[in-house]
Amino acid sequence: MTLAIFLGSLLGAMALGIPIAFSLLICGAALMWHLDLFDAQILAQNLINGADSFPLLAVPFFMLAGELMNAGGLSRRIVQFAMALVGHIPGGLGYVAIVAAVIMAALSGSAVADAAALGALLLPMMVAAGHDRARSAGLISAASIIAPVIPPSIGFVIFGVAANVSISKLFLAGIFPGVLLAVSLWGTWWWIARREPVAPAPRKTRTEVLQALRQATWALVLPVIVVFGLKFGIFTPTEAAVVAAVYALLVSTLVYREIGLRDLRRLFISAGKTSAVVMFLVAAAMVSAWLITVAQLPAQVVVLLQPLLDNPRVLMLAIMVLVMVVGTALDMTPTILLLTPVLMPVVKAAGIDPVYFGVLFIINNAIGLITPPVGTVLNTVAGVGKVSMDEVTRGVMPFMVAQFVVMFLMVAFPQLVMVPARWFY
């Protein structure tokens, strides 16, 4: 009965068109009423406590870093560097998108920010070169969702807080899986682009490659600083977010000089608005998470999944299929906040490594950003690139399938995640 009230109130509120954050509060109030615990003060207290978290400070700083990088020319220089490296290969602009997405993922941690930057910079170039518009938009969308997997990742921060798992370990464990996702896109694009009669760009000279590298060096240094600092314990993930934001600010204003004092107010407000949406979602979800624990919903789910606890791979497969279905209807942040408190007790009961589960959970949620009909990244690329949603959806399908294949390979072979992760630890 409790599970029915939880799902019914949440889905009913969403079906009425109520924003997800408020739907979560309604769900929490319904559970409190059912448990005879309703008290507006408790509701407000848990709402405040949900956002009162030091690790969550990483979210606004990473958001600000992403805004500064896009406006300050860091993203453009990364694209130019990728163009100098692989632009001459047949289908080179697609490979440029993949390489640039991986580098930018190590800068911002936001799929939407990367999708907006890559869509604006590369999609017109790909279409002008003769590539199919839908396939190009689909590739850029699929490449952008590498951002929540490679550190620094906002998704890992939120999951780490909700699941009480080391964010630093999540960051380091996400590096190799993120590269595997990029490799899957590389192979899929090679298979598709070889049929397109598009002449590659001329090969850049060594001088031009070195010049592009020199211009992009300031942008390329940041991922090294973040990974090095996390690996050797120099700073926490929250402090890494501050480092990223300050670094992006200094490079954009003092080195590249593409941001002036007049622009800072607009960028800070934009980052603040985006952060406010995420933080309110987190706070509202923590109300539901507290009530989920009080109502012992995780224990009920453990009982339901009892037959699968002896086979962790089958259990992980079932969980991944569940997250895939939920990801078609919900955005990444609410999915993490809703499912984490329910699934973590099941994962621990089955003896699955929480870091391994967290990496696959975030990968699945990241792919959910390009699954129709809700796919946030699809909508971003469609809007920035002036492409219809139907075209982007059609174009992203082969790349999305390739990324799901990689994810299920990690379910079948956990060593693909844990062996590189232990090396990075």
Spatial distance between the Cα atoms of 411 and 173, rounded to a whole number of angstroms: 15
CA-to-CA separations, 304 to 4, 326, 373, in angstroms, rounded? 14, 18, 29
Look at residue 359 in the predicted model and tell me its pLDDT: 95
Measured from the Cβ of residue 49, the count of other Cβ atoms closer than 10 Å reads 13
* Packing angle of the helix pair 40-51, 261-294 (nearest 10 deg): 130
Spatial distance between the Cα atoms of 378 and 401, rounded to a whole number of angstroms: 15
Compute the CA torsion angle 282, 288, 291, 293 (nearest 10 deg): -70
Residues 342-393 have pLDDT tens digits of 888 888 888 899 999 999 999 999 998 888 766 778 878 888 778 888 888 8
Residues 284-323 have pLDDT tens digits of 777 777 766 666 666 666 677 777 778 889 989 988 988 8
In a 13 Å sphere around the CA of 245, the CA atoms on its Cβ side amount to 19
Q: Retrieve residue 64's tokens.
A: 């600000």
Handedness of CA 169, 173, 174, 179 (dihedral sign): positive
Look at residue 181 in the predicted model and tell me its pLDDT: 95
Q: Retrieve residue 144's tokens.
A: 């952008």
Q: Which of 38-52, 64-78, 177-191 shows the lowest per-residue confidence on average (mean pLDDT)?
A: 38-52
50 confidence band (pLDDT: 50, 70, 90): low
CA-to-CA separations, 328 to 333, 370, 392, in angstroms, rounded? 13, 9, 15
Provide the residue type at 41 as one letter: Q
Measured from the Cβ of residue 199, the count of other Cβ atoms closer than 10 Å reads 9
Residue 382: CB partners within 8 Å, gap ≥ 6? 137, 388, 389, 391, 392
Give the position of tokens 């993922």: 105
153 confidence band (pLDDT: 50, 70, 90): confident
32 confidence band (pLDDT: 50, 70, 90): confident
| SS3 label, residue 257 | coil
- Whether residue 1 has pLDDT greater than 70: no
- Whether residue 270 has pLDDT greater than 80: yes
Best-predicted range by mean pLDDT (24-28, 226-230, 257-261, 311-315):
311-315
Spatial distance between the Cα atoms of 242 and 64, rounded to a whole number of angstroms: 9
Look at residue 295 in the predicted model and tell me its pLDDT: 66
Q: Which of 24-28, 172-176, 256-260, 356-360 shows the lowest per-residue confidence on average (mean pLDDT)?
A: 24-28
Q: Retrieve residue 4's tokens.
A: 């029915």
Residues 208-220 have pLDDT tens digits of 888 888 888 888 8
CA-to-CA separations, 228 to 213, 243, 260, 263, 284, in angstroms, rounded? 21, 12, 30, 31, 34
23 confidence band (pLDDT: 50, 70, 90): confident
- Whether residue 107 has pLDDT greater than 70: yes
Measured from the Cβ of residue 197, the count of other Cβ atoms closer than 10 Å reads 5
13 vs 68, residue with greater confidence: 68
Determine the length of the chain: 425
206 confidence band (pLDDT: 50, 70, 90): confident
Measured from the Cβ of residue 217, the count of other Cβ atoms closer than 10 Å reads 12
- Whether residue 132 has pLDDT greater than 90: no
Spatial distance between the Cα atoms of 371 and 192, rounded to a whole number of angstroms: 20
Mean residue pLDDT of the chain comes to 83
Instruction: Please choose, from the candidates 315, 324, 425, the residue with its C-alpha nearest in 3D space to the C-alpha of residue 371.
Output: 324
2 confidence band (pLDDT: 50, 70, 90): low
Spatial distance between the Cα atoms of 156 and 332, rounded to a whole number of angstroms: 11
Provide the residue type at 227 as one letter: V
Look at residue 188 in the predicted model and tell me its pLDDT: 94
Look at residue 302 in the predicted model and tell me its pLDDT: 66
Cβ density class 390-400: b for 16+ within 10 Å, e for less:
ebbbbbbbbbb
Q: Retrieve residue 269's tokens.
A: 């407000």
173 touches 355 (CB < 8 A): yes
Mean pLDDT score, 162-178: 90
Cis before 414? omega within 30: no
- Whether residue 72 has pLDDT greater than 70: yes
Q: Retrieve residue 329's tokens.
A: 């209807």
| pTM for the structure as a whole | 0.84
Spatial distance between the Cα atoms of 57 and 258, rounded to a whole number of angstroms: 27
